[in-house]
C-alpha cells in the first residue's frame, strides 16, 4: 500500500512539472502577431513612396530592405528630391489678399472726368438756354450737372480698374501655385523613376 501511494505521489509530481514546463514555454514564445510585428522592418522605402517591389530572384526580406534603402538614397542624390520633405505650400491666404488689395490700391485709375463732364455740361446748358436768352445761366447749371455725371463715371471707372487689378493679381497667384504643384509632382515622378531603375538593375520589379 505504501508503495502504491509513493507511485501516485511520483505521478502527481511529474504531472505538475510537465504543466509548469508547458506554461513556461508558452510564456517564452510571443504570440504570432507580436513575432510578425517584431520581424517586420521599421521603415519600408517602397511603401514610403507608394510603389510595390517584387524580387525576381527570390531575394530575402532583409536583402530587399537593404536594396531598397540603397536605391532610395541613390534616387534622392540623382534627382535632388527628398520625398519626405513637405510639399510647398506657397503664399498664405492672408498674403494673397494683401497682394490683391495692394494691386487694387495701386491700380491706374482714370482722372479728369469731372472737368470733362463740367465742360460738356456747360456747353450743353449754354446751347439750351441760349434760346431763352440766358446762356450764362444755362452754362452754370450744365457745368454742375456735368461735374456730377463726370464724377460718377470716374468713380465707376476707378472701381472697375481696381477690381480688374485685383483679379489679375489673383490669376497670377493661382498660376504660381499651379506651377509649384506641377514642379513638385514632376520631382516626385523623377525620384520614383530613378528608384525603379536602380531596383530594376538589382533584379526587382517595381509597380
Q: Residue 37: its pLDDT value, please?
A: 40
Q: Contact at 8 Å (CB) between 161 and 37?
A: no
| pLDDT higher than 60, residue 21 | no
Nearest to 45 by CA among 197, 192, 193, 187: 192
| pLDDT higher than 70, residue 52 | yes
Instruction: Express each pLDDT in 68-108 by its tens digit.
Output: 999 999 999 999 999 988 888 888 999 999 998 998 888 88
Element (H, E) at 120: helix 113-130
DSSP helix/strand/coil, 16: helix
Residue predicted with more confidence, 66 or 113: 66
pTM score, whole prediction: 0.54
Q: Kindly tell me the burial class for residue 90, based on how many C-beta atoms sit within 10 Å of its own C-beta (0-12, 13-18, 19 or more).
A: middle
What is the rounded average pLDDT for all residues in the chain? 76
Predicted confidence band of residue 38 (pLDDT cuts 50, 70, 90):
very low
Element (H, E) at 204: strand 204-206
DSSP 8-state secondary structure symbol assigned to residue 91: S
Q: Contact at 8 Å (CB) between 67 and 59?
A: yes
Q: Residue 36: its pLDDT value, please?
A: 39
Q: Contact at 8 Å (CB) between 138 and 129?
A: yes
Predicted confidence band of residue 55 (pLDDT cuts 50, 70, 90):
very high
Gap between the Cα atoms of 38 and 32, Å rounded: 10
| pLDDT higher than 50, residue 25 | no
Q: Of the spans 21-25, 110-114, 165-169, 194-198, which averages the highest pLDDT? A: 194-198
Give every CB contact of residue 168 below 8 A, 6+ residues apart in sequence.
103
Gap between the Cα atoms of 205 and 196, Å rounded: 8
| pLDDT higher than 80, residue 56 | yes
Predicted confidence band of residue 66 (pLDDT cuts 50, 70, 90):
very high
Amino acid at each position: 500500500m505504501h508503495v502504491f501511494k509513493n507511485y501516485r505521489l511520483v505521478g502527481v509530481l511529474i504531472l505538475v512539472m510537465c504543466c509548469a514546463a508547458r506554461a513556461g514555454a508558452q510564456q517564452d514564445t510571443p504570440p504570432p502577431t507580436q513575432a510578425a510585428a517584431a520581424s517586420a522592418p521599421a521603415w519600408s522605402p517602397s511603401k514610403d513612396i507608394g510603389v510595390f517591389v517584387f524580387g525576381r530572384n527570390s531575394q530575402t526580406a532583409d536583402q530587399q530592405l537593404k536594396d531598397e534603402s540603397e536605391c532610395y538614397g541613390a534616387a534622392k542624390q540623382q534627382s535632388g528630391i527628398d520625398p519626405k520633405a513637405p510639399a510647398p505650400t506657397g503664399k498664405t491666404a492672408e498674403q494673397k489678399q494683401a497682394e490683391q488689395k495692394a494691386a487694387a490700391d495701386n491700380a491706374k485709375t482714370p482722372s479728369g472726368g469731372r472737368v470733362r463732364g463740367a465742360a460738356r455740361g456747360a456747353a450743353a446748358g449754354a446751347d439750351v438756354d441760349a434760346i431763352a436768352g440766358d446762356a450764362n445761366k444755362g452754362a452754370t447749371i450744365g457745368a454742375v450737372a456735368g461735374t456730377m455725371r463726370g464724377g460718377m463715371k470716374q468713380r465707376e471707372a476707378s472701381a472697375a480698374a481696381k477690381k480688374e487689378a485685383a483679379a489679375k493679381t489673383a490669376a497670377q497667384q493661382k498660376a504660381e501655385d499651379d506651377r509649384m504643384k506641377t514642379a513638385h509632382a514632376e520631382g516626385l515622378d523623377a525620384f520614383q523613376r530613378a528608384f525603379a531603375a536602380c531596383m530594376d538593375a538589382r533584379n526587382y520589379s517595381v509597380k
